[in-house]
Structure 1
Amino acid sequence: MKAYQTLLYYCYSHIQDAEQYAADHLKFCKDLGLTGRIIVADEGLNGTVSGTREQCKAYMDYIYADGRFNATEFKIDDVDEPSFMKMHCRYKSEIVHSGLKDPHVIDPTKKTGKHLEPTEFMEMKDRDDVVILDVRSNYEHNLGKFKNAITLDIDNFRDFPAMINELAQYKDKKILTYCTGGIKCEKASALLLHEGFKDVYQLHGGIIKYGKEAGGKDFEGKCYVFDNRIAVDVNSVNPVVVSTCRNCGKTTPKMINCANPECNEHFTQCDECGWELDGACSTACKEHPRKRPYDGTGYYVKVPQPINKKKVTLTSL
């Protein structure tokens, strides 16, 4: 049994004085010894945290003890080591930035697409009257996606509303939306309904839950995750690698961040090109004067850098 766990979760539920709650929540997590990244907004919580099994259980108990978050569903992965280096908990205007001028146009607590459990999603996805819609960003679906899924050319979820017109051709179909853990689909499906789509669904618990409960059948490639692991295996039924190295075109499941901090782009790169370009996405980035040392992982942690004897700040690496 592995000693550590990583919890992925979200909950849409109104939080009174969310900015203060974020500060209190951060203190609780640090006192507990967790690492991770949590976003708190007036509309709810969105987080991934990691720690020992005991720490994770204490955190889940803490969340459920607060009646506002009873609908939270934790996706739990057993891991060899914590999936983060530090603990961050920040207040933001939304737990998922919708890109809408008035984000209150949609309310996931009131109206979203119909939730499909993993086995229901698996049964529906290949029907002729169904369209599978990936609502994630480019760098996520480039690494892995459902077979025959429609993907969108977006860099962030806030670009999703601008793509609605391109999806209008599918208004007479059943739209099955999916994302990593379900949180983006809550807003994407709500927005589709708001824009006149009639038959909209969402994969409850996202790709991660689908992998655990349905074996990940027909999810091609790996699933991008927002922690040190970068990507995880999902499909234990008919796995296949679909991502290719940006530099040479060779099939590879590896995704990294460009070693040039001023680029820092997520991209897929094979080990051979990684070492040849020293973790950079291009020769220009390899030669950048601030390029970070490459250790083969392509993962970089912000570290304190002394500015002078009186002041120490965090550099933006």
Structure 2
Amino acid sequence: MKKFQTLLYYCYSPIAEAEQFAADHLKFCKSLNLVGRIIVADEGLNGTVSGAKDDCAAYMDAIHADERFAKTEFKIDDVEEPTFIKMHCRYKSEIVHSGLRDTSIINPNERTGKHLEPADFKEMIDQEDVIILDVRSNYEHSLGRFKNAITLDIENFRDFPEKIAELEQYKDKKVLTYCTGGIKCEKASALLLHHGFNDVYQLHGGIIKYGKEAGGEDFEGKCYVFDNRIAVDVNTINPSIVSKCYNCGTVSAKMINCANPECNEHITQCDDCGSELQGCCSSACMDHPRKRPYNGSGYYVKVPQPVNLSIK
């Protein structure tokens, strides 16, 4: 029986004095022996935390007891061990950086796409007047995506607004957006509505909830996650692998970060190329003086930044 859990969640809800809240919340998480990464902003919370089941239960109870976050929905995975090394809780301007100067035009509490539960999303995806839009980054959708999904060439979600013009041709369609846990879709669907798309939906709970409640059917490949698991299986009905090794083109589902920290590129890399290049994306990175030792996993703990809201 697995003794630990990983919780993925978000909540768009205004937080007064959010920077102080972040500092206090870090102390609270430490008191529960949790590890993970939480972003706090004036607009709400975005987090993934991991720890013993009882500690995770206490954390969820505390979040739900706060009336600001009572609506928070947790995606819960049972895991063999905590999926982070340290605990970070940081204040930022947004819980998902939109790249917009005027963020007031995409307030998910005022207007966002129609939420589709996994069963409803599954029923709609094959309809002729529907397009499925992946709002995640390149390295995420290269590892796994829904069958026939439209993917965008973006490195970060803040690049999404620049891609709206490319989607104009789909204004007369039903646009079904999806992401890992739902948080990016809240802003992506709101922005599409702002630009005149009239029939916009979003997969409630994202890929993770779809896997749990709908078996992940027609999600091809694996789902990238932002902890040391790197990728998780979603599809238990008709699974497949769609990603290929960045170096040799062999079909591979293994996602890594380049061992050169100044590159840190997210790539799919097979074990043979990983061994040959010592976890680097290229020979140039392999020869870099700061190259991190490759242990086969391709996951590296980030170098702590000199800020007050991180465990040293």
Q: TM-score, normalised by structure 1?
A: 0.95
Residue in 1 that maps onto 2:64: 64
Alignment identity in percent? 78
- Please, which runs of 5 or more residues in structure 2 have no aligned partner? 305-312
Give the alignment of 1:183-262 within 5 angstroms: 183-262=183-262
Q: Which amino acid aligns with 2:14?
A: H
Residue in 2 that maps onto 1:309: none
The Cα shift of 1:300 comes to 1.1
SS in structure 2 of the partner of residue 153 of structure 1: coil
Count residues with an aligned counterpart: 305
Q: Which amino acid aligns with 1:289?
A: P
Does residue 15 in structure 1 map to residue 25 in structure 2?
no
The Cα shift of 1:290 comes to 1.2
Residue in 1 that maps onto 2:40: 40
Does residue 263 in structure 1 map to residue 273 in structure 2?
no
- For residues 75 and 111 of structure 2, the distance between their equivalents in structure 1, rounded to whole angstroms, comes to 23
Residue in 2 that maps onto 1:176: 176
**1:128-173 CA distance string (max 9 Å, x none):** 0000000000000000000000000000000000000000000000
- For residues 147 and 32 of structure 1, the distance between their equivalents in structure 2, rounded to whole angstroms, comes to 40
Greater RCO (Cα-Cα under 8 Å, separation 6 or more): 2
**1:200-236 CA distance string (max 9 Å, x none):** 0000000000000000000000000000000000000
Structure 1 vs Structure 2 CA RMSD: 1.0
Residue in 2 that maps onto 1:133: 133
Give the alignment of 1:288-299 within 5 angstroms: 288-299=288-299
Q: Which amino acid aligns with 1:89?
A: C
- For residues 182 and 62 of structure 1, the distance between their equivalents in structure 2, rounded to whole angstroms, comes to 22
**1:4-45 CA distance string (max 9 Å, x none):** 000000000000110110000000000110000000000000
Residue in 1 that maps onto 2:309: none
- For residues 222 and 71 of structure 1, the distance between their equivalents in structure 2, rounded to whole angstroms, comes to 28
Residue in 2 that maps onto 1:313: none
**1:86-131 CA distance string (max 9 Å, x none):** 0000000000001111111211011100000000000000100000
Residue in 2 that maps onto 1:119: 119
**1:43-84 CA distance string (max 9 Å, x none):** 000000000000000000000010000110000000000000
The Cα shift of 1:302 comes to 4.0
Query: After TM superposition, what 4+ stretches of structure 1 lie above 6 angstroms from structure 2?
Result: none
SS in structure 2 of the partner of residue 84 of structure 1: coil
- For residues 293 and 68 of structure 1, the distance between their equivalents in structure 2, rounded to whole angstroms, comes to 44
The Cα shift of 1:303 comes to 5.9
Q: Which amino acid aligns with 1:122?
A: K
293-302 vs 159-168, which deviates more? 293-302
Residue in 1 that maps onto 2:286: 286
SS in structure 2 of the partner of residue 99 of structure 1: coil
- For residues 301 and 115 of structure 2, the distance between their equivalents in structure 1, rounded to whole angstroms, comes to 37
Change (3 A) 1:4 1:176: same
